[in-house]
Amino acid sequence: MNDAPSVWPALLAFVAVAALIPVALWVLKRLQGGAPGGARPVTLAGGLTLGPRERVVVVEAEGRRWMLGVTGQSISLLAELERSAPATDGGAPGSPDRPATPAFPPNPFAQMLDRLKRHG
Q: What is the pLDDT of residue 89?
A: 46
Q: What is the pLDDT of residue 117?
A: 78
- What does pTM read for this prediction? 0.41
Q: What is the pLDDT of residue 12?
A: 93
What is the mean pLDDT, run by run of 10 residues, along the chain of 120 residues?
Answer: 78 93 89 63 86 89 88 90 57 50 63 75
How big, in percent rounded to 5, are the helix, strand and coil portions of the chain? 30, 25, 45
Q: What is the pLDDT of residue 119?
A: 76
> For residues 58 and 47, is the Cβ–Cβ distance under 8 A?
yes
Q: What is the pLDDT of residue 6?
A: 85
